Chain A
Amino acid sequence: MGDGTLLRLATAGSVDDGKSTLVGRLLHDTRSVLADQLEAVERVSRGRGLDRADLALLTDGLRAEREQGITIDVAYRYFATTRRSFVLADCPGHVQYTRNTVTGASTADVVVVLVDGRNGVVEQTRRHLAVAALLRVPHVALAVNKIDLVGYDQAWVTAIAKEVAGLAEELGVPDVRTLPVSALDGDNVVTRSERTPWYDGPTLLEYLEAVPLDADPRHEAFRFPVQYVLRPQSGNRVGEHRDYRAYAGQVATGVVRVGDEVVVLPSGRRTTVAGLDTADGPLDQAFAPQSVAVRLADDLDVSRGDLLAHPEGTPAVTQDLEATVCWLAERELRPGARLLLKHGTRTVRAVVREIRSRLELDPVAGSPAQSLALNDIGRVVLRLAAPVAADPYAVSRRTGSFLLIDDHDGWTLAAGMVGDPLGEERRRCPPEAATSATTDVTTPRP
């Protein structure tokens, strides 16, 4: 297998839709399941009186999951073809598991949403599409499964595709593709089905191999959160590096070149990139998501939590954040709550000034709320103890995302997105009010 690119995908759907079977089928048909794993699955399947290997068993990792026959937690799977390597976040998809879908979608280039062909688009499908839209996943593949049970009926699949396209447009999903598959028999998963001659699109695997990767860094604004200051002061072979000082980090978005003028945020001081270093030697330029060390021309006070950007089009530096959060904890969120906010490499204290609304996903609509409970999505206003340099999430998933953390026990309470990625405010306001807003954060990336 070649050194292809890496694609991250998440699957969403319930056990009943055949999601585990679909994932098992992808792994099996790409020969990512090896003989000893398959033998174990066959053994267990026989033990349960099944006449063929239940591929869903490949993905149940924990004892409790096998005992209860359910999938509890996100599991990560790996497969590869000559063109790409795939990291698959397999997300249990019951309604109460929005937390898992949000987690899987947060890093995904593609979300594969599964529907049972017999049922078509159901409430859960709409929720999954809304989560994909909210998390700004660039591509959605809707796999219409169990087409064998609807007689490989073109008209039926076309009707589902049409309904999904309408939903996607309404939600702002930038790219959606509907594929008719049978995970059980393998139709159009890895091999093209002879039973759907009317379908001339790609198989699911062909789609995943060809779907364009995330935005080109050349079209993004440069953002570099400083992780760690490199100053070799000790060790046996410091000698030549005694005066070395560089800022280590991963380019979050965009491209930076030696000689570029940059601004350090939140201080606002300007300087020039003197060098871009790696252990393999210096670079002329670095692009997302490379990990490098940036040397600056001037001796400024720069430390972890600062952000480097080009002087034009800098992110907003603010102590007041309007954001959309997905609440991930059992305890409720109420106005006045004191929390920690982690944005990029900066962690600051935060207080919840206001809970503006709770967001229903089916259909998308905001309603007034006093609190947020587990799996709720809501609009909040936060006041921070120190400023952060943040972009709207709709513009940058990397520098527009944050976590809310419990200061006492450290639990991750919420996934936060700066601004209003679903355009919920716009939906609530009359159109003329929306157009007068200063920033329309729903504008897609160039």
Chain B
Amino acid sequence: MTAYVLDGVEALESEGIHVLREVAAEFERPVLLFSGGKDSVVMLHLARKAFWPAPVPFPVLHVDTGHNFPEVLAYRDATVERLDVRLLVADVGSYVADGRLRERADGTRNPLQTVPLLDAIAEHRFDAVFGGGRRDEEKARAKERILSLRDEFGQWDPRNQRPELWSLYNGRHRPGEHVRVFPLSNWTELDVWRYVRRERIELPPIYFAHRRRVFLRDGMWLAEGPWSRPRPDEEVAERTVRYRTVGDMSCTGAVLSEAASVDEVLTEVAASSLTERGATRADDRLSEAAMEDRKREGYF
């Protein structure tokens, strides 16, 4: 007997596909932000399903800090090849090299992504930008719309957002403005992992337990590497770790974990006592309103 009801993840999948199709139909030049992180992977997976058997009708854009995990870049390239989508790269490194952006004292490049992102949006005249942001991630994101207007400077004005009713999305915008679109708004970290399991979605290997040389800084395990060197008082040791989020190597922390499969990760996430950003993102610890401030300026 058929139960005429969708379970939670099925309902979220249908909602996400609906949003992707609405935007593809109403906008002239959408682009999907794709980093190889699990949220963007799930979003691209939804896009493939939304337009099947036609190819995904828009390109993907990666804002590359130059400090990415090599495993994730390899995954990114293999995925766009397999899905036959066009990859555009906004290269933070070139901005630093020619002086348009300056390296921060703490060495992290996550906050530097905003300018290359906005430049890419202007250069390609993108009018809709899909992002994998989820409302459960962070307090400022909890107030974000599914379709969220950005002014000509890419800025978000959280106090002046359009009401969003039913499943009627208003994508009207003036020349120079664009709209950020978050098809995974209502997903939680656990939903993402449940969906990865159900759909058998392949993820970059760093999401699963592996041996890595790491050192402890501010309560986070950072990978030893060219962009995250331990200070003299920080001891490097090889540990079994995995990543809960994937970002800039210099500020993304690993968690000690033996979870080597999707099932084991699901068990671990369900039992976790820390949020994924609290556990692994130095950039969100900068201040109470770090994410809100970055979003106002045009960050993801």
Residues of A within 8 A of B (CB): 1, 3-6, 34-37, 40, 59-64, 66, 72-78, 80, 84-85, 87, 99-100, 102-103, 106-107, 213, 216-218, 227-228, 230-238, 241, 244, 248-250, 255, 277-280, 285, 287, 289-291, 293, 304, 328, 340, 342-345, 397-398, 401-403, 405-407, 409-412, 415
Q: Given the interface contacts A5-B5, A5-B8, A289-B11, does A401 sit within 8 Å of B50 by beta carbon?
A: no
Within 8 A of A (CB), among B188-216: 188, 190-191, 194
A106 close to B5 (CB less than 8 A)? no
Q: Given the interface contacts A73-B143, A75-B143, A255-B4, does A227 sit within 8 Å of B21 by beta carbon?
A: yes
Alpha-carbon distance A100/B188, docked complex (angstroms): 23
B54 close to A402 (CB less than 8 A)? no
> Contact partner of B14 among A77, A289, A405, CB < 8 A?
A289
> Contact partner of A37 among B50, B54, B55, B278, CB < 8 A?
B278
B188 close to A80 (CB less than 8 A)? yes
Q: Given the interface contacts A61-B140, A230-B51, does A84 sit within 8 Å of B8 by beta carbon?
A: yes
B272: chain A residues within 8 A (beta carbon): 34
A72: chain B residues within 8 A (beta carbon): 159
B278: chain A residues within 8 A (beta carbon): 34-37
Residue of A nearest to B275 (CB): A34
Q: Given the interface contacts A75-B143, A230-B53, does A36 sit within 8 Å of B25 by beta carbon?
A: no
A76 close to B163 (CB less than 8 A)? no
B217 within 8 A of A: no
B279 within 8 A of A: yes
B142: chain A residues within 8 A (beta carbon): 59, 61, 75-77
B24: chain A residues within 8 A (beta carbon): 228
B288 close to A66 (CB less than 8 A)? yes
A384 to chain B: closest CB distance in Å?
A: 16
One of B109-117, B168-176, B246-254 at the interface: B168-176
Among B6, B163, B167, chain A packs the most CB atoms within 10 A around the CB of: B163
B236 to chain A: closest CB distance in Å?
A: 25
B158 within 8 A of A: yes
Q: Given the interface contacts A76-B186, A250-B14, A278-B49, does A63 sit within 8 Å of B292 by beta carbon?
A: yes
A287: chain B residues within 8 A (beta carbon): 4
Residues 271-286 of B, flagged 1 when their CB comes within 8 A of A and 0 if not, give 0111100110000000
B84: chain A residues within 8 A (beta carbon): 235-237
B173: chain A residues within 8 A (beta carbon): 410
Alpha-carbon distance A285/B1, docked complex (angstroms): 13
Q: How many residues of B contact A (CB 8 A)?
A: 66
A415 close to B289 (CB less than 8 A)? no
New contact pairs (8) apart from A232-B53, A237-B55, A412-B165, CB-CB < 8 Å: A3-B9, A6-B6, A85-B188, A250-B167, A289-B11, A291-B17, A293-B52, A410-B173
A279 close to B139 (CB less than 8 A)? no
B74 within 8 A of A: no
Alpha-carbon distance A345/B54, docked complex (angstroms): 20
Residue of A nearest to B139 (CB): A61
Interface secondary structure of A, over-half rule: mixed
Alpha-carbon distance A249/B17, docked complex (angstroms): 9
A225 to chain B: closest CB distance in Å?
A: 10
B164 within 8 A of A: yes
A250: chain B residues within 8 A (beta carbon): 14, 17-18, 167
B165 close to A106 (CB less than 8 A)? yes
Residues of B within 8 A of A (CB): 2, 4-15, 17-18, 21-22, 24-25, 48-55, 84, 135-136, 139-143, 149, 158-159, 161-168, 170, 172-174, 185-186, 188, 190-191, 194, 270, 272-275, 278-279, 288-289, 292
Q: Given the interface contacts A227-B21, A235-B54, does A217 sit within 8 Å of B4 by beta carbon?
A: yes
A230 close to B9 (CB less than 8 A)? no
Alpha-carbon distance A80/B8, docked complex (angstroms): 10
Alpha-carbon distance A160/B52, docked complex (angstroms): 54
B163: chain A residues within 8 A (beta carbon): 99-100, 102-103, 328, 412, 415
A119 to chain B: closest CB distance in Å?
A: 28
Q: List 25 A-B contacts (CB under 8 A).
A: A1-B270, A3-B8, A4-B7, A4-B8, A35-B278, A37-B278, A59-B142, A61-B142, A63-B288, A63-B289, A73-B158, A75-B142, A78-B186, A80-B188, A85-B8, A99-B163, A106-B166, A216-B4, A228-B25, A235-B54, A237-B84, A279-B49, A290-B14, A291-B50, A410-B149
Q: Given the interface contacts A34-B272, A398-B166, does A291 sit within 8 Å of B6 by beta carbon?
A: no
Residue of A nearest to B179 (CB): A410
Residue of B nearest to A237 (CB): B84
Closest 9 pairs between A and B when the two form their complex, measured CB to CB: A410-B172, A36-B278, A235-B55, A61-B139, A279-B52, A232-B54, A279-B49, A85-B8, A291-B17
Alpha-carbon distance A415/B167, docked complex (angstroms): 12
Residue of A nearest to B136 (CB): A78
Alpha-carbon distance A228/B26, docked complex (angstroms): 9
Alpha-carbon distance A241/B53, docked complex (angstroms): 7
B174 close to A410 (CB less than 8 A)? yes
Alpha-carbon distance A412/B275, docked complex (angstroms): 34
Among B50, B141, B173, B270, chain A packs the most CB atoms within 10 A around the CB of: B50
Residue of B nearest to A67 (CB): B289
B4 close to A218 (CB less than 8 A)? yes
Alpha-carbon distance A72/B143, docked complex (angstroms): 10
> Contact partner of B190 among A1, A233, A248, CB < 8 A?
A1
Alpha-carbon distance A244/B238, docked complex (angstroms): 54
A12 to chain B: closest CB distance in Å?
A: 15
B143 close to A410 (CB less than 8 A)? no
Q: Given the interface contacts A62-B158, A73-B158, A250-B14, does A35 sit within 8 Å of B274 by beta carbon?
A: yes
A340: chain B residues within 8 A (beta carbon): 172
Alpha-carbon distance A234/B25, docked complex (angstroms): 17
Q: Given the interface contacts A76-B142, A103-B165, A236-B84, does A6 sit within 8 Å of B8 by beta carbon?
A: yes
Among A6, A103, A343, chain B packs the most CB atoms within 10 A around the CB of: A6
A234 close to B55 (CB less than 8 A)? yes
Q: Given the interface contacts A35-B274, A216-B4, A248-B21, does A73 sit within 8 Å of B165 by beta carbon?
A: no
A238: chain B residues within 8 A (beta carbon): 55
A109 to chain B: closest CB distance in Å?
A: 11
B172 close to A5 (CB less than 8 A)? no
Residue of B nearest to A280 (CB): B49
Q: Given the interface contacts A84-B8, A342-B170, A345-B22, does A34 sit within 8 Å of B273 by beta carbon?
A: yes
> Contact partner of B11 among A6, A244, A345, CB < 8 A?
A6
B6: chain A residues within 8 A (beta carbon): 5-6, 289-290
B168 close to A107 (CB less than 8 A)? no
Residue of A nearest to B188 (CB): A78
B127 to chain A: closest CB distance in Å?
A: 12
> Contact partner of A403 among B55, B136, B165, B289, CB < 8 A?
B165
